[in-house]
Amino acid sequence: MTTETARVEAFSDGVFAIAITLLILEIKVPSVGSGDLGEQLLRQWPSYLSFFISFAYVGVMWINHRRLFTHIRKSDDVLLVLNLLLLIGVTVVPFPTLVLAAHLGHPGARTALIVYNAVYLVIAILFNILLRYATSKNGRLLAPDVDRSAVATMTRQYAVGPLLYLICIVLAWYGVTASLFINLALAIFFVLPPRYATKRLPVRRPELS
């Protein structure tokens, strides 16, 4: 972490930490006298599932944010604004998580899942914009000794994100279960190091423009 990006990364880490902590607030402790405790706990399965998926997503976003900033050594006003826009998306995550937990297993599940995936679609787009800006103008914000092949591989992995989340939105319209499975698969895909996640993607080595 360089002095120039230290505050950006520290602030971002704090936002990720708060967002991931807020996710647990939807899981309630059943009140005494409300019925069998085991049954009451089992009824909260939508909250458990929503929490697990969102926790995985926020954790994966934090990992990828850290990966990205290992290549960035300088910052400017535009980078700061783009990073803040990304963090807005991160702070919003607890809301669609609550919506999904409340409606999963009910008639509104499809709409809740579409809203849920739409948030991640926007975040995926913002991740791409942040990366593209950092690598623009011959990568002037990157470290002088940056591994350009690693940056190109990361770019390829990020590029498919918006398309995959769009597929999740379409699938949610036809089948909630299928969309949820794809959500879990996406968390696994984006936690993989870029060199493994992009092995089968078309190979193209873009120059930093």
- In this structure, is residue 208 part of a structural domain? no
Pair 40, 30: CB distance under 8 Å = yes
- In this structure, is residue 203 part of a structural domain? no
For residue 91, CA distances in Å to 16, 19, 72, 76, 205 come to: 8, 6, 23, 23, 33
User: What DSSP letter does each residue of 149-183 carry, written as one string?
Assistant: HHHHHHHHHHHTHHHHHHHHHHHHHH-HHHHHHHH
- pLDDT tops 80 at residue 204: no
Average pLDDT over residues 13-32: 89
Average pLDDT over residues 172-194: 86
pLDDT band at 85 (very low <50, low <70, confident <90, very high): very high
Predicted local distance difference test score (pLDDT) of residue 201: 47
Predicted local distance difference test score (pLDDT) of residue 27: 84
Average pLDDT over residues 142-159: 80
Of the chain, the percentage scoring pLDDT greater than 70 comes to: 89
- In this structure, is residue 158 part of a structural domain? yes
Nearby residues of 186 by Cβ (< 8 Å), 6 or more positions away: 161, 164, 165, 168
Average pLDDT over residues 72-81: 90
Predicted local distance difference test score (pLDDT) of residue 60: 92
- In this structure, is residue 206 part of a structural domain? no
- In this structure, is residue 120 part of a structural domain? yes
- pLDDT tops 90 at residue 129: yes
Count of domains observed in the chain: 1
- In this structure, is residue 12 part of a structural domain? yes
- In this structure, is residue 169 part of a structural domain? yes
- In this structure, is residue 205 part of a structural domain? no
- What residue numbers bound the domain in which 112 lies? 3-197
